[in-house]
């Protein structure tokens, strides 16, 4: 799409990428999927208008044009009934997870998470000394009966959870989507046991199917559910731009927090550019195009896995998002496998990082199909398949 000379090559190595390697761990958009020329035009146009607006502190709640754009888009596309009081702009979804943890919990409080769940969120919860209770998932998402068991145990201990953190659609790391029936059951549990649902909804736009289940926020009528979103996956992570949906009281509480008061809202410069870009219609056109690009990448990965992995290896079939979750045979420990793969210049995300109890992921790894070119994806999977075979010889 872009003809920039810089690509996903050895010269350009974003976060954690070893030059010259095949980074199948990288959950970033590939450089050729980032619309830099449209962005450049938007920046130039913003500089030709009221340029000082770009350089001032912003509103605590975030850029009003961006808020308005997102509110109208949600109401139109998902038939929500929200106003600008239900949405605030954030410095990425990660900023939101940190803010929510800061304001809704204290050290020692309990929360619920999926097992496995998003590694960097677990990291934030650990930083805050939160007591995480992990609930297993299957191909339909978190197992509700297991959640009930945990809630009953916590009730008996008098330490009911403050919130349940979940990536409900095309989950990181497994690519699994939580079914609508389970979402509805969990909303009932949240009312019964009094916890907030925090849904980290960063992949739902990257879908390869027509229909996905409604969000927790939508199903719960906007009550007791906080929904995070981001521009990182559909535009670029370097923008550090995301949003939070919640009921008006919750949003007010976050907007008046010390950090935003003092900091003048999330990244006002970027927010103005992103607002102009979105209002031009370019974002929606880009998302439509992206879905096809990522679907092709997923298909390349699934075909390569089918061709090159022995029968002892299994994996998920994501309907969207960035990730495939691979299960190795019992005799291969992922830490050993990772060492050998790295020696062969292939890097993946070890399953162990995605669990509260790391040992639960000792036979798993996450492959990302978002970042590497098709040929590297295939070459990387050929190498991994070969290594599994070598490690399986008696
Ligand atoms: C579930 C989940 N939440 C949040 C993020 C990060 O989002 P942001 O760049 O908006 O902080 C990611 C990116 O990998 C993710 O997978």
Q: Which pLDDT score is estimated for 164?
A: 98
Q: What φ, ψ does residue 138 adopt, rounded to 5°?
A: -125, -160
Going from the Cα of 242 to the center of ligand 1, the distance in angstroms, rounded, reads 9
Going from the Cα of 119 to the center of ligand 1, the distance in angstroms, rounded, reads 10
Among 19-23, 121-125, 298-302, 357-361, which stretch is predicted with the lowest mean pLDDT?
19-23
Query: What does pLDDT average to over the chain?
Result: 93
Per-residue confidence at 8, pLDDT binned at 50, 70, 90?
A: very low
C-alpha distances in Å from residue 262, one per residue of 28, 57, 71 = 30, 10, 25
| Interval 309-321 mean pLDDT | 97
Going from the Cα of 200 to the center of ligand 1, the distance in angstroms, rounded, reads 8
201 with 207: CB under 8 angstroms? no
Which ligand 1 atom sits nearest the alpha carbon of residue 231?
Answer: 10
Q: Whose CA is nearest to atom 13 of ligand 1?
A: 27
Cα gap 264→109, rounded to integer Å: 30
Within 8 A by CB and 6+ apart from 172, the residues are 27, 118, 119, 202, 203, 321, 322, 323, 366
Q: Is the pLDDT of residue 112 over 70?
A: yes
Which ligand 1 atom sits nearest the alpha carbon of residue 93?
Answer: 10
pLDDT tens across 210-223, in order? 999 999 999 999 99
Q: Whose CA is nearest to atom 7 of ligand 1?
A: 93
pLDDT tens across 140-174, in order? 999 999 999 999 999 999 999 999 999 999 999 99
pLDDT tens across 100-110, in order? 999 999 999 99
Instruction: For residue 24, give both structure tokens.
Output: 């199948």
| Residues with C-beta less than 6 Å from any ligand 1 atom | 27, 92-94, 118, 167, 172, 200, 202, 230, 232, 237, 242
Q: Whose CA is nearest to atom 14 of ligand 1?
A: 27
Going from the Cα of 171 to the center of ligand 1, the distance in angstroms, rounded, reads 11
Going from the Cα of 124 to the center of ligand 1, the distance in angstroms, rounded, reads 12
Which ligand 1 atom sits nearest the alpha carbon of residue 237?
Answer: 9
Which ligand 1 atom sits nearest the alpha carbon of residue 242?
Answer: 10
pLDDT tens across 243-278, in order? 999 999 999 999 987 766 666 688 999 999 999 999
Q: Which pLDDT score is estimated for 185?
A: 98
Q: Is the pLDDT of residue 391 over 80?
A: yes
Instruction: Identify the CATH class of 22-34+284-391.
Output: alpha beta
222: left (phi over 0), alpha (psi -120 to 50) or beta: left
Q: Give domain 46-280's CATH number out of 3.40.50.720, 3.40.50.2300, 3.30.470.10, 3.40.640.10.
A: 3.40.640.10
Going from the Cα of 338 to the center of ligand 1, the distance in angstroms, rounded, reads 23
| Interval 297-314 mean pLDDT | 98
Q: In 10 A of CB 52, how many CB atoms?
A: 7
| Interval 102-121 mean pLDDT | 97
Q: Which pLDDT score is estimated for 7?
A: 44
Going from the Cα of 145 to the center of ligand 1, the distance in angstroms, rounded, reads 28
- Residue ranges per domain, the chain? 22-34+284-391, 46-280
Q: Which pLDDT score is estimated for 10?
A: 41
């Amino acid at each position: 799409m872009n003809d920039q000379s810089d690509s996903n090559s050895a010269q350009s190595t974003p976060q954690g990428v070893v030059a010259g390697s095949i980074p199948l761990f990288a959950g970033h958009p590939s450089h050729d999927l980032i619309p830099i020329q449209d962005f450049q035009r938007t920046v130039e146009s913003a500089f030709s208008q009221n340029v000082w607006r770009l350089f001032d502190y912003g509103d605590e709640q975030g850029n009003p044009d961006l808020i308005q754009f997102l509110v109208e888009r949600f109401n139109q596309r998902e038939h929500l009934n929200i106003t600008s009081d239900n949405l605030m702009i954030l410095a990425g979804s990660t900023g939101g997870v940190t803010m929510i943890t800061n304001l809704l919990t204290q050290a020692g409080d309990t929360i619920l998470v999926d097992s496995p769940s998003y590694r960097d969120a677990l990291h934030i919860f650990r930083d805050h000394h939160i007591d995480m209770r992990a609930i297993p998932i299957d191909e339909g998402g978190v197992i509700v009966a297991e959640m009930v068991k945990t809630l009953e145990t916590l009730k008996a201990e008098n330490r009911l959870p403050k919130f349940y953190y979940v990536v409900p659609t095309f989950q990181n790391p497994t690519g699994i989507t939580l079914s609508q029936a389970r979402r509805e059951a969990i909303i009932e549990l949240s009312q019964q046991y009094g916890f907030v649902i925090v849904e980290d909804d960063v992949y739902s736009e990257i879908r390869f199917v027509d229909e996905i289940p409604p969000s927790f926020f939508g199903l719960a009528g906007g009550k007791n559910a906080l929904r995070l979103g981001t521009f990182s996956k559909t535009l670029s992570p370097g923008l550090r731009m995301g949003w939070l949906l919640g009921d008006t009281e919750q949003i007010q509480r976050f907007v008046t927090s010390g950090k935003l008061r003092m900091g003048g809202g999330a990244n006002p410069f970027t927010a103005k550019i992103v607002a102009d870009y979105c209002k031009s219609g370019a974002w929606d056109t880009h998302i439509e195009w992206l879905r096809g690009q990522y679907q092709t990448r997923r298909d390349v990965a699934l075909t390569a896995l089918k061709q090159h992995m022995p029968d002892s290896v299994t994996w998920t079939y994501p309907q969207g998002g960035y990730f495939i979750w691979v299960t190795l045979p019992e005799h291969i420990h992922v830490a050993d496998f990772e060492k050998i793969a790295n020696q062969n210049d292939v890097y993946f995300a070890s399953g162990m990082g995605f669990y509260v109890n790391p040992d639960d992921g000792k036979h798993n790894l996450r492959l990302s199909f978002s970042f590497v070119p098709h040929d590297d994806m295939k070459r990387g999977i050929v190498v991994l398949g070969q290594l599994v075979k070598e490690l399986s010889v008696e």
